[in-house]
Amino acid sequence: MKLLVTGGAGFLGSHLCERLLGDGHDVLCVDNFFTGDKRNIAHLVGNPYFELQRHDVTFPLYVEVEQIYNLACPASPVHYQFDPVQTTKTSVHGAINMLGLAKRLKARILQASTSEVYGDPEVHPQTEDYWGRVNPIGIRSCYDEGKRCAETLFFDYHRQHGVDIKVMRIFNTYGPRMHPNDGRVVSNFIVQALRGEDISIYGSGQQTRSFCYVDDLIEGFVRMMNSEAGFTGPVNMGNPVEFTMLELAEKVLSLTGSKSGIIHKPLPNDDPRQRQPDITIARERLGWTPKVSLEDGLVETIAYFRRTLAG
């Protein structure tokens, strides 16, 4: 099949392109390289079934494909807060443009949504029927509300125009090709530990997160895209095993063998205290569960950062 991956030069997108090519598909990767990196996909260039197009999804795109994976959007707070207006445009105009393309082509389209649609949740763990508690005017809103509006557009294109949609709500995912300086906790801790700098924990370190390894998530993308007709989601995808930030820091210190210490910094605005996916729907409808333990995933990620920082 001929497939389109928007945001294909990013962390998740590059792994997805690789997987789809491996499955024998013809892959068109579209990216404006805001947070994406050509090095993420350099090894795919030259494959006759891989095509790369520099394009910003806030503008219409005219191509012929059978399925669309819509991942284009900066995902980490430092990047999405750099130009918040562009972040909202990427989610909202990007969704309109890609949904318009899907409508014209009668192509199936999958949206990479996020657990951030739940905001700072009062429900724990989060199930898909929870509507969320999101600040509409805070510094994270460009991302959270942009993604919420994109979901609205997906469901309205589905109801109004019959577009074949799939919506996945992704929880914290980590692995090789994460950005080293994007402020996300796993990459932050690893880079600090490898550089021998103190590991900075925001607040007490008792806030929890669950971490999904990238290979597990990519399997989830493929299963969701190829799920039975009429199953739209939204479906949570993430690893339900929770760790406190303090536990994560200690694991990173022990796996890197680093002598770094731990320091505490003030908690940023709107930082959710707790986040954990309920993945019952993914398990029952897609037969999907994460398989990679935090320890195994960290070993791979640490090896990647060791190579990157050395080179």
Ligand X SMILES: NC(=O)c1ccc[n+]([C@@H]2O[C@H](COP(=O)([O-])OP(=O)(O)OC[C@H]3O[C@@H](n4cnc5c(N)ncnc54)[C@H](O)[C@@H]3O)[C@@H](O)[C@H]2O)c1
In sequence order, what are the residues at sequence separation of 6 or more whose Cβ sits closer than 8 angstroms to the Cβ of residue 42? none
- Nearest approach, Cβ of 55 to ligand X (angstroms)? 6
Site for ligand X in 104-123 (CB under 6 A): 112, 114
- How far is 228 from 218, CA to CA, in rounded Å? 18
How many residues of this chain bind ligand X (CB under 6 A)? Answer: 29
- Which residue from 149, 163, 73 is spatially nearest to 110, judged by alpha carbons? 163
Residue of 69, 80, 118, 143 marked active site: 143
Within 155-194, the residues that bind ligand X by CB under 6 A are 170, 172-173
- CA-to-CA dists, residue 109 to 8, 105, 222, angstroms: 15, 10, 12
In the complex with ligand X, the residue whose CB is nearer, 183 or 264, is 183
What Rg value do the Cα atoms of the chain yield, rounded? 19
Let me know how long the chain is: 311
Contact with ligand X (CB under 6 A): which of 3, 5, 10, 216?
10
Q: Which is nearer to ligand X, 113 or 258 (by Cβ)?
A: 113
Whether residue 304 lies in the annotated active site:
no
Residue closer to ligand X, measured from CB, 69 or 260: 69
Contact 17, 43 (CB under 8 A): no
Exactly one of 3, 4, 5, 11 binds ligand X (CB under 6 A); that residue is 11
Look at residues 149, 140, 59, 60 and name the one whose alpha carbon lies nearest to residue 111: 149
Q: Is 139 helix (H, G, I), strand (E, B) or coil?
A: coil
**Subset of residues 21 to 80 that bind ligand X, contact rule: CB under 6 A:** 31-36, 56-58, 71-75, 79
CA–CA separation, 263 and 259 (whole Å): 13
Residue 290 sits in the site that holds ligand X (CB under 6 A): no
Catalytic residue IDs: 143
Residues that bind ligand X (CB under 6 A): 6-7, 9-13, 31-36, 56-58, 71-75, 79, 90, 94, 112, 114, 170, 172-173
